[in-house]
Structure 1
Amino acid sequence: MSKAAGENIGVGMVGHAFMGAVHSQAWRTVHRFFDVPYVPVLAALGGRDEVRAKAAAVRLGWAAVETDWRDLIAREDVGIVDICTPGDSHAEIAIAALAAGKHVLCEKPLANTVAEAEAMAEAARAASERGVRAMVAFNYRRVPALAHARRLVADGVLGEIRHVRAAYLQDWLSDAEAPMTWRLRKEFAGSGALGDLGAHIVDAAQFVTGEHITGVSALTQTFVRDRPEGEGRGEVTVDDCALFTARLSGGAVASFEATRYALGRKNAMRLEINGSRGSVAFDFESMNELSYFDGTDPGTESGFRRIVVTEPEHPYLSAWWPPGHGLGYEHTFTHEVADLLRAIGSGADPAPGFDDGLRVQRVLDAVSASAEDGSRWTPVPDTPVEGR
């Protein structure tokens, strides 16, 4: 599937709700700001309801509509398949797309079960040998401030990592009468706040530290057991919040919290890392900032320093605006597809790949097992990733 530099590459996207809209924005704009080897063409949008899909295609800029994802994969003008559906369909679509020789971008979490994630990772490894690439969409890796935090850790600025503190706080389900959604059904979503939000902070913690989680002790809670649905009420079959402690492969200890019931917190994805020489702290509600503490400063001048992450030397920012002009949520997806296109162009496997997604899935599975068994310590099986 190699193409000459600057040639068009067709994208087919399955799903057109929230994630479909933000992915569409990324595909429409990436080549206008980043030096990428291909110009993406929004070839086909997949949706089961033809009327809704056609309306979304007009609104989001897609040239055609397919009501069966199999037909979308089979199109000759589609070279990349972008999966923005609920987790229960990720494995089937991704494995079929890779077998058909199409590059794949798949939303997180990679799958609803470890078995599905293992099958997807195996398919991605086999496809890689044929020059076909697969990426899982952990967009927070592409927040410039978090990418800069990773640089600080990798450069040894923080010293030995001792503590990781991660939380993802939202409040959109706090109203017990908010209507039922697919995100509250296990058969579609796999889990609740754990997979929806916890997957992000697990990946962010592992990404920034360069380490992986080796074991967890967890508890989960469902606060509202049923919600309005149609003429009656539907049963909620997933967690509303998840809390767990963890150990990392380098010896650090960590805590994680994911909830959709934190009143007043709209999208507070937070990460703090404490090392032997310094600390960094991040909150997505101030996404263009990073707090840095230099432990070598004299006590009389010590304190957290506010870094405004908008300089052209910061990750991704040379493509955007003058210093001091902040980015938003949608830019992280543009960065994501830029990295995918560059990986395809260079013949390299992108990061995070499906093995990275599998690693996160194994953590989520261990959290669920620990919570079901009364918060016992649960080891996380390792996921060796070649070349990383």
Structure 2
Amino acid sequence: MTSPSLGVGLIGYAFMGAAHSQAWRTAPHFFDLPLHPRLSVLAGRDPARVADAAQRLGWEATETDWRAVIARDDVDLVDVCTPGDTHAEIAIAALEAGKHVLCEKPLANTVAEAEAMAEAAARAARNGVRSMVGFTYRRVPAIGLARQLVAEGRLGTIRHVRAQYLQDWIADPAAPMSWRLDKQKAGSGALGDIGAHIVDLTQHITGQALTGVSAMLETFVKERPLPASAGSLSGVGGEGTGTVTVDDAAVFLGRFAGGAVATFEATRFALGRKNAIRIEINGSSGSLAFDFEDMNVLHFFDGDEPAETAGFRRIVVTEPGHPYVGNWWPAGHGLGYEHGFTHQVVDLVTAIAKGEDPTPSFADGLQVQRVLDAVERSAANNSSFTEI
């Protein structure tokens, strides 16, 4: 711990806040970081709950106002793990105060907000202030290997991209309302919550941007019971129902800049699928396939092999030479969901120390936001092809 410290202020302590906390704690114990993360302060609106979370997650102090986090001298970086409707205000204020920013995905709820955030990030970067959007699945070693294979030309010209993100956590109509089902807070439903990930992953792996889409959106359950604590959500007590104002499922076609055609599906109604991110890419010389529910494996087909012996090769991505893996366990000992967040911390801290802009940048987040916006516009216009 002889390296200089990097004071971190985390805003939000629920699911994502806990995942980010674990990453900030763990990263310096497995990676030789140029800056040592210091868990300076955790922020949340409820004093008792944020104090309990800080004790469990390892934070030194607490605040109940995000503005107080930005004002603190012991905070060099602000980590935003709040609902999407607050991202722009918090991130822009932090950047203008000279704080580095890590912001959870999707970057914002609207293209206009994302544009303002990207512009603020560009201004801040001129003064050495860095920013990153949290598309952590990029940091799965098998995804890193997939991107490497494409970059090396092992797949040739990319022709087909298929991507799915399948969950089932709200398939039960009795599942209660939450902020993720409120468009004002979440921006969109399955589209932005999980569809954003497969948009980013396919653009990241192929190295190409989506240029247009043709889409459908569907809300299967339009009314849901209000939770017991619904007063803060809708101004109504725990009785009655609330209206779901986001999509439950998004299905769309896409075209990449290099000419490849693509299919995307994001749903929270795929019974039996808990967190299935499935990506297959077919090129003129080979193919690859990935499923996050078997996250330490990448399937690769080499089209140059003789037909008599050709077939998909199952690669267990746990060798020391694979992305990030050398700092963890011996070969064959797989990594888990939480490791992507740790790798995110490593890449962000390293970039800050080098004075470099980390990726994915706010500009990358803006590109994903533009795709999401095009999907919504296409669906509203009866699946018409919509340019990005």
State the TM-score, normalized to the length of structure 2.
0.96
1:103 equivalent in alignment to 2:100: yes
Q: Over residues 230-277 of structure 1, what are the superposed CA-to-partner deviations in whole Å (9 max), with x where a residue is unaligned? A: 111111000000000000001100000000000000000111100000
**Amino acid in the other structure paired with 2:300:** Y
1:144 equivalent in alignment to 2:130: no
Give distance in 2, aligned partners of 1:259 and 1:58: 35
1:241 equivalent in alignment to 2:275: no
Give, in angstroms, the shift of residue 5 of structure 1: 7.7
1:301 corresponds in structure 2 to 309
Is the Cα–Cα contact under 8 Å of residues 120 and 354 in structure 1 kept in the other structure?
Answer: yes
| SS of equivalent residue, structure 2 residue 319 | coil
2:329 to 318, 321, 324: 321
Give distance in 1, aligned partners of 2:184 and 2:6: 34
Give, in angstroms, the shift of residue 297 of structure 1: 1.2
| SS of equivalent residue, structure 1 residue 333 | helix
Give distance in 2, aligned partners of 1:200 and 1:329: 14
**Amino acid in the other structure paired with 1:198:** G
Bigger mean CA offset, 113-122 vs 26-35 = 26-35
| SS of equivalent residue, structure 2 residue 299 | strand
Unaligned runs of 5+ in 2: 227-237
Unaligned runs of 5+ in 1: 381-388
Q: Over residues 200-246 of structure 1, what are the superposed CA-to-partner deviations in whole Å (9 max), with x where a residue is unaligned? A: 00000000000000000000000000111011111100000000000
2:287 to 279, 282, 305: 279
Matched positions, count:
377
2:57 corresponds in structure 1 to 60
Moved over 4 A (4+): none
Give, in angstroms, the shift of residue 296 of structure 1: 1.1
| SS of equivalent residue, structure 2 residue 358 | coil
Q: Over residues 291-347 of structure 1, what are the superposed CA-to-partner deviations in whole Å (9 max), with x where a residue is unaligned? A: 001111111111111000000100001110000000000000000010000000000
1:18 equivalent in alignment to 2:26: no
| SS of equivalent residue, structure 1 residue 223 | coil
Give distance in 2, aligned partners of 1:255 and 1:36: 39
Give distance in 2, aligned partners of 1:44 and 1:29: 17
1:261 to 262, 269, 283: 269
Is the Cα–Cα contact under 8 Å of residues 5 and 345 in structure 1 kept in the other structure?
Answer: no
Is the Cα–Cα contact under 8 Å of residues 34 and 338 in structure 1 kept in the other structure?
Answer: yes
Is the Cα–Cα contact under 8 Å of residues 5 and 37 in structure 1 kept in the other structure?
Answer: no
| SS of equivalent residue, structure 1 residue 130 | coil
**Amino acid in the other structure paired with 1:343:** A
Give distance in 1, aligned partners of 2:62 and 2:147: 40
1:337 equivalent in alignment to 2:345: yes
2:379 corresponds in structure 1 to 371
| SS of equivalent residue, structure 1 residue 301 | coil
Q: Over residues 158-209 of structure 1, what are the superposed CA-to-partner deviations in whole Å (9 max), with x where a residue is unaligned? A: 0000000000000001100001110000000000000001000000000000
RMSD value over aligned CA atoms?
A: 0.8
2:202 corresponds in structure 1 to 205
Shift in CA distance, 374/5, structure 1 to aligned 2, threshold 3 Å: farther
2:4 corresponds in structure 1 to 7
Give distance in 1, aligned partners of 2:255 and 2:19: 34
1:51 corresponds in structure 2 to 48
1:168 corresponds in structure 2 to 165
1:351 equivalent in alignment to 2:359: yes
Q: Over residues 73-103 of structure 1, what are the superposed CA-to-partner deviations in whole Å (9 max), with x where a residue is unaligned? A: 1000000100000000000000000000000
**Amino acid in the other structure paired with 2:61:** A
Give distance in 2, aligned partners of 1:161 and 1:86: 35
Give, in angstroms, the shift of residue 373 of structure 1: 0.7
1:27 equivalent in alignment to 2:35: no
